[in-house]
Amino acid sequence: MENNKITIGFRLTDNLGQTYENTSEVLLFEDLGVNTLEAIGDQLNAFLHQCGFMGRRDCMLMEGLTSEEYDVLLAKLEEMRSEAIV
Supply φ then ψ for residue 56, to 5 degrees.
-90, -15
Instruction: Give the pLDDT confidence score for residue 10 in this predicted structure.
Output: 93
Q: Residue 24, CB half-sphere, CA atoms under 13 Å: how many?
A: 14
Instruction: Give the pLDDT confidence score for residue 80 in this predicted structure.
Output: 87
Instruction: Give the pLDDT confidence score for residue 51 in this predicted structure.
Output: 82
Q: Which helix (H) or strand (E) holds 24?
A: strand 19-27
What does the pLDDT profile of the chain (86 residues) look like in tens digits?
A: 557 889 999 999 988 898 999 999 988 887 877 788 888 888 888 888 888 876 666 555 566 778 888 888 888 988 888 887 75
Are 24 and 7 contacting, i.e. CB atoms less than 8 angstroms apart? yes
Instruction: Give the pLDDT confidence score for residue 41 in this predicted structure.
Output: 84
